[in-house]
Structure formats: structure tokens, C-alpha cells
Amino acid sequence: MYEDSTKDLVSWMKVLFLTALIVLAGRQFLIQPLSVHGESMMPTFENDDKVILNKISRIENFDLIVFDAPDDHKLIKRVIGLPGDRLEMKADRLYINGELVEEPYLTHNRKVARQKGHSYLTEDFAEITVPAECYFVLGDNRLQSVDSRMFGFVPKEAVLGEVKFRFAPFEYLGAVE
């Protein structure tokens, strides 16, 4: 009887060890939970929203990423420019590689900006080219966002992952688009 108990205990310890190993490996290399801090992405994300990052995503224009900022904070922003993209902002309109690109996620913030007396949500900037191995990022709440307009391009190695899923608050549970 003592032998069976010992075998059961060893079996359970193996299962628990393997489970912990899988969870830790997944968190290290595949996904990571994170809390959103600040208002720079409102209304897309509110302060204290909880999200899951995919660490192995291929980043594309308008993806939402988390990265280590120059001041050692983790920031969440929208990727506007990929390596090699030419970007320009004229009269609150974004041009990527010379073509006008709609930004429907800014509709609410444009209304708020006008209510506060601002002509534009995003100030003009002359054409820039995103360097290799870098991204140009902007917050959705551009009047309150510290982003590539202030600190420059985000190196690929600073990117922690792409935001794929929100798990809190519960009413917004689901995939992030």
C-alpha cells in the first residue's frame, strides 16, 4: 500500500512539473498577459484593461503592439509604419507610400478633438521613411499620446508582442482588432 502511494505521488509530481514547465515556456516564448496603463490608446483600450500578447506574430500596419519604450516603460501603440514605409500626415490625413489611408479607429477621438477646439487630431509632419528593423507607432488618443512623434522609431528588438486578446474588463472580452 505504501508503494502505491509513493508511485501516485511521484506521478502527480511529474504531471505538476511538466504543467509548470509548459506554462513557463509558453509565457516566455509564445504569449504574455499585460495590463494597459494610461489613456494614450483610448477608447480602443482604457486604463487597466488586461490583454494577452502574441510574441511570435508577424507585425503589420495598424497592429497593436507592446514595446519597451526609451524610458523603460512598456507602451501599447498602433503600428503606422513598417520598415521602408514612407509616411506623411497632412490636414489630419495619413499617407503611406503616397496613398491616403483611412483611420476609422480615430473617429471618436476626432470628434473629441473638435469639441476641445482643435482643428486636427494629429499635427502635420513631412514625409519620413521608416528605417530597416524599426516601426513608427502612434497612440489612438493622439492629443494625449507619447509616441514616435516624440521618441522616434521603435526598434524591432524592443517589441514584446502584438496585442491579440483582451480578457478584462469582462464586457470587452475577446479578440482585439
d(CA 5, CA 105): 59
23 Rama class: left (phi>0) / alpha (psi -120 to 50) / beta = alpha
Which among 35, 50, 77, 116 is annotated as catalytic? 77
20 vs 16: CA distance, rounded Å = 6
Our answer to whether residue 116 is catalytic in this structure is no
Separation of alpha carbons 113 and 110, rounded Å = 5
Active-site choice (35, 40, 57, 111): 40
Place of cell 514595446: 67
Please confirm, yes or no, whether 40 is among the known catalytic residues. Answer: yes
Grid cell locating 55: 510574441
Q: Is the Cβ–Cβ distance between 177 and 63 less than 8 Å? A: no
Residues with catalytic roles = 40, 77
